[in-house]
Amino acid sequence: MSILKIMLLSVSIISSVIFVPSSFSAETVLITGANRGIGLALAQQFQEAGYNVIGTARKPNKAKNLSALGVRLEQLDVSDPTSVTALAERLDGVVIDILINNAGIGGHSTDAFSDLDIEKLNKVYNVNSLGPLRVTQALLPNLAASKGKRVASISSKMGSIELNTWGCCFGYRGSKTALNSFNKILSMEFGKRGFVFVVLHPGYVKTDMTRGRGNITTSESSSGLFKVISELNAGDNGKFYDYQGNSLPW
């Protein structure tokens, strides 16, 4: 091959690399409770995939690992209506393609029902059930401005009534069951407007909440969740999946 042909071939290759547009147009994802655990791992997954990531934390000044990712860091306490409203005001006009309601707690629990302090269950319901509802409601205009309009809430198979074969954990189980029900309602009310609402079981993950117990890492869980969330479409609206994309019973 002549030198001229080699030069022309090289220019052609370089031009194709530069001018062929990417099939992926950067989307914006907001992840609550992104300062540690599954939330932090998800923030890293989406950031490395080229998404514009907004990560929230109750105490941003202590979210050093999240800040180190270079994502947009915002203060948010999902249990505080004032905090949620303030976030919505700061994000006014920002298009959000994907909302991931990840923030959650284990909550009060006892071995014996007689020892259960029922009033202490208010906190876990406020965070795990009402929290995602508050955030979704506040950011609905941001989501409505997107073509994707996807809302994924991190639930648990412990929220499945059918899979509850051994009792335990009134607060956590009940709060996730309520979250699942809220998700179904929203999927019915907003599905015709192009929204996609799903709840996801992240697996039994080694996190602070599980005190390091679990059978998968945050990296393994977030990798599966990322695939499921990034590929959501209208046919998934109202569904309950695990982190591998398998359907779960209600």
**What span, in angstroms and rounded, lies between the C-alpha atoms of 235 and 172?**
29
Rounded to whole angstroms, how far apart are CA atoms 79 and 58? 10
> 178 CB contacts (<8 Å, ≥6 apart)?
125, 128, 129
Question: Could you tell me which residues come within 8 angstroms of residue 139 by beta carbon, excluding any fewer than 6 positions away?
Answer: 30, 87, 88, 91, 96, 99
End-to-end CA distance of the chain: 66
CA distance 54 to 72: 5
Structure tokens at 36: 């540690």
Distance (Å, rounded) from C-alpha 127 to C-alpha 32?
11
User: What letter represents residue 147's amino acid?
Assistant: K
Residues 51, 172, 241, 243: which is the catalytic one?
Answer: 172
**Element spanning 241, H or E:** strand 239-242
Per-residue b or e along 107-133, where b marks 16 or more CB atoms closer than 10 Å to that residue's CB: bbbeeeeeeeeeeebeebbbbbbbbbb
List the structure tokens of 188: 């019915």
Q: Is 241 a catalytic residue?
A: no
List residues with catalytic annotation. 172
